[in-house]
Amino acid sequence: MSSALPGIVRLTAGSLILTAAGAAIGQQQVVKPPVAQYWMDVATHSMAGMPEMPGMPTLPFFGRGPGGGSGANVYGNTRGMSPGRWLDLALHTRARPSGTEASHAIPAGMQMGPALPLLPLPPAAPAQREPGDPSESVPEKPSGRILIYWGCGESVRAGQPRVIDLASAGPAEFGRAFGGRFAPDRGARVGPGYATWPNEKSRIEVPKGASLAGEHAVSGDGVPASLRFTLGQQQDFIPPIQLASTGGLADSIALQWQPLSAARAFYLHAMGSIGKDMVLWSSAETPDTGMGLIDYLPNATIDRWVRERVLLPASETRCAVPKGIFSGGNEGSAMLRMIAYGSELGFAHPPRPSDPRTPWEPEWSARVRVKATTMAMLGMDMGGMARPGDAEGQRDAQGADRQAQEEKPLLPGMPVIPGAGKAMDAIRGIFGR
């Protein structure tokens, strides 16, 4: 991939953090922080069996970022689960530490106009607490157990599950159980002084078919005029993961998906409830919960964890959930999440001098991260949800009301999706909402 500016250098994921301490490893070169730093988070979220629907509102029971809860396109949706294509942009410049308005010129293939406006974040309002707030109440002592399984395969392996008794487990045991691998947060830590998109001025949805490939340029007061770069197909939106599952909760559940050319690795994680017990499973060959891996990862970390069999290689297209580990739960009581990790790309300008005696004073740095996620209700036929015509001609008088409940809009004004009501009720049940 070529750069839009001759003096731009592409960085590996591990070298984008520009600090003097990091530069001192191996050579004593003075490295100053860039004047401006830019972050682009790119994500495609989907639900197995559901068609991709541009402009789908964010749903209140899906996790979102700092602006969540409004039901609109807000900054942080790349870190949530709401179906759609999402883009988060963040800018910080030392030349305007209190924040600056900026504009991100985008390729015509984005189908979102010539540019996206970035606005400074307002100061955070202090939290107001009232006497009797839930945060001040004494939590109840937990009961039940956590059962941890791992690895693809039709049968439960010897030595599984790892069991944590919530009633007797102490802090140390919780730490050992949940202190496994996790995705380090390398994104923008947005706050006062940062400018972001989406924002109150622009919440336009990313349309289906939008492409990030092409020239990008960021401009604004305090932003170096050289902040320009080119993105290729590997940093474009990854198509929705096409995941299919077969088998009931009492069976081994076979999972299969279509290959993705932009994927660097895959990872699957499932959780469900059986009575008072919580059951966790992951596709990793390592016995930890793995709950923190459904997020962006640096390229070097992805490659290392593929070698260590924590992540599935990009060539893999199958996995199986061991037989019966979710047996005993209600239909829809187990949810699977899957992530396809894309490649992270970093830029900096000007390039780092080869002579360690010459200080490096970059004008700017930029990081682009890409991923796709999907989720599915285990033990349910999610494939039929993408075929609206399947139910026609199959209704009788007794079943019409039930069909109407299952074929309903997720939110007012949305098109009807067959089976959506059933799937959403299942998700609410897992999260207790």
Over the stretch 314-340, which tens digit does the pLDDT of each residue have?
Answer: 999 999 999 999 998 766 679 999 999
pLDDT (average), residues 243-272: 95
Query: Does 391 map to a domain?
Result: no
* Bridge partner list, 116: 104
Res. 51 pLDDT band, cuts 50 70 90: confident
Q: Which two tokens stand for residue 152?
A: 């693809």
Measure the CA–CA gap between 430 and 433, rounded to whole angstroms: 8
CB burial of 249-266 (b: ≥16 within 10 Å; e: otherwise) equals: bebbbebebeebebbbbb
Q: Are 65 and 76 in contact (CB under 8 A)?
A: yes
Measure the CA–CA gap between 58 and 56, rounded to whole angstroms: 7
pLDDT at 95 over 60: yes
pLDDT at 431 over 60: no
Amino acid (one-letter) located at 428 = R
Measure the CA–CA gap between 337 and 65, rounded to whole angstroms: 18
Query: Does 42 map to a domain?
Result: yes
pLDDT at 271 over 50: yes
Q: Where are the beta strands (DSSP E) in 18-98?
A: 36-47, 84-93
Q: What pLDDT is stored for residue 375 in this prediction?
A: 94
Measure the CA–CA gap between 152 and 266, rounded to whole angstroms: 12
- 168, 250, 370, 375 from 39: Cα distances, Å: 44, 44, 11, 26
Query: Does 132 map to a domain?
Result: no
Please tell me which of 5-9, 22-26, 49-53, 313-317 the model is most confident about, judged by mean pLDDT: 313-317
pLDDT (average), residues 25-44: 89
pLDDT (average), residues 228-238: 97
pLDDT (average), residues 21-37: 75
Res. 430 pLDDT band, cuts 50 70 90: very low
pLDDT at 188 over 80: yes
Res. 370 pLDDT band, cuts 50 70 90: very high
Tell me the residue range of the domain where 68 lies. Answer: 9-124+142-386+402-431
Q: What percentage of the chain exceeds 90 in pLDDT?
A: 58
Q: What pLDDT is stored for residue 131 in this prediction?
A: 61
pTM of the model: 0.79
CB burial of 176-215 (b: ≥16 within 10 Å; e: otherwise) equals: ebbebbebeebbbebeebbbbbbbeeeeebbeeebebbee
Q: What percentage of the chain exceeds 70 in pLDDT?
A: 71
Q: What pLDDT is stored for residue 416 in this prediction?
A: 38
40-44, 132-136, 222-226, 408-412: the lowest-pLDDT one: 408-412
Domain count within the chain: 1
**Who has greater pLDDT, 371 or 28?**
371
pLDDT (average), residues 99-108: 97
Query: Does 35 map to a domain?
Result: yes
Query: Does 353 map to a domain?
Result: yes
Res. 157 pLDDT band, cuts 50 70 90: very high
Per-residue pLDDT of 279-311, as tens digits, reads 999 999 998 888 789 999 999 999 999 999 999
pLDDT (average), residues 73-79: 93
For 350, the 3-state DSSP assignment is coil
Say what the alpha-carbon torsion angle 102, 108, 110, 114 is, to the nearest 10 degrees: 30
Q: What pLDDT is stored for residue 310 in this prediction?
A: 96
CB atoms under 10 Å from CB of 163, counted, come to: 12
pLDDT at 420 over 70: no
Amino acid (one-letter) located at 392 = E
pLDDT at 393 over 70: no
Query: Does 133 map to a domain?
Result: no
Averaged confidence pLDDT in the chain: 80
* Bridge partner list, 265: 313, 341
Q: Which ranges constitute the DSSP H helices of 167-232?
A: 171-178
Q: What pLDDT is stored for residue 331 in this prediction?
A: 62
Query: Does 200 map to a domain?
Result: yes
Query: Does 397 map to a domain?
Result: no
